[in-house]
Amino acid sequence: MSRDISAKGKLAEYRRSIDNIDAALVMMLAERFKITQKVGAFKAEQGLPPADPGREDEQITRLRRLAAEADLDPEFSEKFLRFIIDEVIRHHRRAGSES
Amino acid sequence: MSRDISAKGKLAEYRRSIDNIDAALVMMLAERFKITQKVGAFKAEQGLPPADPGREDEQITRLRRLAAEADLDPEFSEKFLRFIIDEVIRHHRRAGSES
């Protein structure tokens, strides 16, 4: 029984750290989308296409390197960036079709 | 021509901010996976299942609230958390099958 309680305590402690990190991730994503919204409006204004494959390749190469340095699976960092970029492009397309 | 140069400068400035945020996101994700690796090892040791739907529901409710406060689409915050959790569960399953 006391072993169960300490097991629960240990799990709860890990989860508090995960919750703190998730709050920080959400806040930074909010900030990132504020910037990409500006980029989207700016691209639409300048007649630039929403996606930019050359820029994306650079971002992926850089993030894979940073991930490796931080002991994060580089494959996952690439998947993560594509997940974010897909959402950004959806936003840009939506903004473009509204204008 | 000078309009092109200033347009490029503006885009480059936005991109530097995005790159800074992405580096921070990758570092925090690295830290998050370090913790979930410990959670995975701990769950395997205690014979607990990798997924915990009750915990996930709580995380989603909380993150949607935080997202709304930060002007981030709550739908996206939920999609983001599921994307991360799917990766964590993949890690746990892999770790479980190794032991």
Pick the CATH number of B2-98 from 3.20.20.120, 1.10.287.3610, 1.20.59.10, 2.60.40.10: 1.20.59.10
Closest approach of chain B CAs to the CA of A84, in angstroms? 9
Q: Is the pLDDT of residue B54 over 90?
A: yes
Do residues A59 and A1 lie in contact, with contact meaning Cβ atoms separated by under 8 Å?
no
Which DSSP string corresponds to A6-30? HHHHHHHHHHHHHHHHHHHHHHHHH
In eight-state DSSP terms, residue A50 is: S
Q: What percent of chain A has pLDDT over 70?
A: 90
Span B78-87, average pLDDT: 94
Q: What is the pLDDT of residues A58-74, one digit of tens each?
A: 999 999 999 999 999 99
* Residue in A23, A17, A14, A32 with CA at minimum distance from that of residue A80: A32
- pLDDT, residue B33, reads 96
**64-93 of A, contacting B, C-beta below 8 A:** 66-67, 70-73, 76-77, 79-81, 83, 87
Span A24-29, average pLDDT: 98
Whole-angstrom Cα distance, residue B5 to residue A34?
23
Residue A60 φ then ψ, to 5°: -65, -45
Residue B63 sits at the chain A interface (C-beta within 8 Å): yes
Phi-psi region of A71 (alpha: psi -120 to 50; beta: other; left: phi over 0): left
- pLDDT, residue B3, reads 61
pTM, two decimals, is: 0.89
What is the sign, positive or negative, of the torsion defined by CA atoms of A65, A67, A68, A70?
positive
Q: Is the pLDDT of residue B8 over 80?
A: yes
ipTM of the complex: 0.89
**Which residues neighbour A82 within 8 Å (Cβ) at sequence distance 6 or greater?**
A60
- pLDDT, residue B99, reads 45
List of chain A residues whose C-beta atoms are within 8 Å of the C-beta of residue B28:
21, 24-25, 28
- Domain locations along chain B: 2-98
